[in-house]
Amino acid sequence: MAHSTIATLVAFGLISLVGFATPIAAQEDGTVTERAMSLHQQAIVVDGHNDLPWEIRKQGNLDIARLELGARKTTGHTDMVRLGEGGVDAQFWAAYVPARFMGAGAAVVALEQIDLIHRLVATFPERLEMAYTTDDIMRIASKGKTASLIGVEGGHAIANSLPTLRMFYDLGVRYLTLTHSSSLAWADAAGDSAVLGGLSEFGHEVVREMNRLGMLVDLSHVTPEVMRDAIETSAAPVIFSHSSARAVRDVERNVPDDILAMLPANGGVVMINFYSEFLVPEGEERPGTVGTIADHIDHVVAVAGIDHVGLGSDFDGIDEEPVGMEDVSMLPNLTIELVRRDYTDEEVLKVLGSNLLRAMRQAEAVAVELRASGQPGLQRLPYFGRADEGNE
Ligand SMILES: [Zn+2]
């Protein structure tokens, strides 16, 4: 958050400085809150995944105006007012493509959602600005706006074609989630049948081309075998744009410890998902609290280290969230919790966003290097009648 003030946060009731004077407990709490707010303001807060674009498709039939996002809403997780209150400096907006569109239409749905994100940013120029690089993020955040980036969710969107992947990059896409909920011809999805046992040869080519372009490889939604294959092949840090720790909450969408242990060598970042289903341990009471989110951060820090964790809310893509994290305006509550848990200032800044910025900067540097020495990949897999196009 760059320009908002503590006064603004107090005005919106996010923090209370009342009763600051007397009881010792309250006094300590006030100090923690004050320090947290100052850190939150100083930080470049980055969120790895927000599904508002799909809500606009669903509720508004692609028409942004119908959702009235300029005013503070009482429904959904995100609008322009609450985004500002949450101090989000950089947001990856998901261009989600449901697995049911696999094959015919997947690339079209992705294009429609990319178009929608560009239109969203153009609709609210006082709050949003498109970002394509880490330098863009820094520049836009310094103006107090939310740098807006695009992540395509579901590798079926590239329609088995590296040239199509490349065009997504040119349209602003800065990460691709390799799968959604269904396995592809080139990558297995978590929760679906593991057909390949990892990435196929074409899947490895997708990762290499993403490295060459400077598009982050997102491993939320894939199997541990695909995670491992991708990390071994990737020359750049990978991300998990919206996944939590499997050792804390054992679901397939979360990241196992042996994969977390690979992150220091790779430079990758796990961006913790706020969905109660992915957070709250088996047998414990739902929906959990902000502390439950911090438990996952603690665990990733313990296994992978402080440089490999970030935030990937999944707001507007989830239907149950922890108490104190009911919408995007509540993000400062997590900063308070981290300060309470004795994270240092530098550590808090890393979790809130600088880890992701560092990983993205590394990916940009790798791309510069690979573009100087390599050529664009031309690989395609057959799909729908393409098999006989050589005879044209
Ligand atoms: Zn997802």
- Give the pLDDT confidence of 167-201 residue by residue, as tens digits: 999 999 999 999 999 999 999 999 999 989 999 99
Catalytic center residues: 49, 51, 153, 180, 221, 242, 314
Ligand 1 mean position, distance from CA 111 (Å) = 18
Question: How many CA atoms lie within 13 Å of 204's alpha carbon, on the beta-carbon side?
Answer: 9
Ligand 1 mean position, distance from CA 96 (Å) = 8
Ligand 1 mean position, distance from CA 54 (Å) = 11
Ligand 1 mean position, distance from CA 38 (Å) = 31
Ligand 1 mean position, distance from CA 23 (Å) = 44
Ligand 1 mean position, distance from CA 284 (Å) = 23
Q: Which pLDDT tens digit goes with each residue over 205-234?
A: 999 999 999 999 999 999 999 999 999 999
b/e burial code for range 56-79 (CB count within 10 A of at least 16 → b): bbeeeeeebeebebeeebeebbbb
Q: Which two tokens stand for residue 263?
A: 């992150």
Strands 216-218 and 309-311: unpaired
CB 88 within 8 A of CB 331: yes
b/e burial code for range 302-330 (CB count within 10 A of at least 16 → b): ebbebbbbbbbbbbbbbeebbebbebbbb
Q: How many CB atoms lie within 10 A of CB 99?
A: 17
**pLDDT attached to residue 104:** 73
Enumerate residues 6+ apart whose C-beta is below 8 A from 239. Answer: 48, 175, 216, 217, 218, 219, 268, 269, 270, 271, 310, 356, 359
d(C-alpha 187, C-alpha 79), whole Å: 34
Ligand 1 mean position, distance from CA 220 (Å) = 7
Ligand 1 mean position, distance from CA 248 (Å) = 19
Ligand 1 mean position, distance from CA 253 (Å) = 9
Third-level CATH fold of 45-378: TIM Barrel (3.20.20)
**pLDDT attached to residue 24:** 55
Which residue is listed with tokens 């101090």?
87
CB 288 within 8 A of CB 322: yes
**pLDDT attached to residue 115:** 99
d(C-alpha 109, C-alpha 138), whole Å: 30
Ligand 1 mean position, distance from CA 203 (Å) = 19
Ligand 1 mean position, distance from CA 240 (Å) = 10
Ligand 1 mean position, distance from CA 26 (Å) = 39
Ligand 1 mean position, distance from CA 179 (Å) = 9
**pLDDT attached to residue 29:** 74
Q: How many CB atoms lie within 10 A of CB 259?
A: 24
Choose among 297, 175, 294, 306: nearest CA to 241: 175
Question: How many CA atoms lie within 13 Å of 305's alpha carbon, on the beta-carbon side?
Answer: 11
Ligand 1 mean position, distance from CA 153 (Å) = 7
How does pLDDT run along the chain (392 residues), one tens digit per residue?
554 444 445 444 444 443 334 445 556 678 999 999 999 999 999 999 999 999 999 999 999 999 999 999 999 999 999 999 999 999 999 999 999 998 879 999 999 999 999 999 999 999 999 999 999 999 999 999 999 999 999 999 999 999 999 999 999 999 999 999 999 999 999 999 998 999 999 999 999 999 999 999 999 999 999 999 999 999 999 999 999 999 999 999 999 999 999 999 999 999 999 999 999 999 999 999 999 999 999 999 999 999 999 999 999 999 999 999 999 999 999 999 999 999 999 999 999 999 999 999 999 999 999 999 999 999 999 865 455 454 44
Ligand 1 mean position, distance from CA 177 (Å) = 8
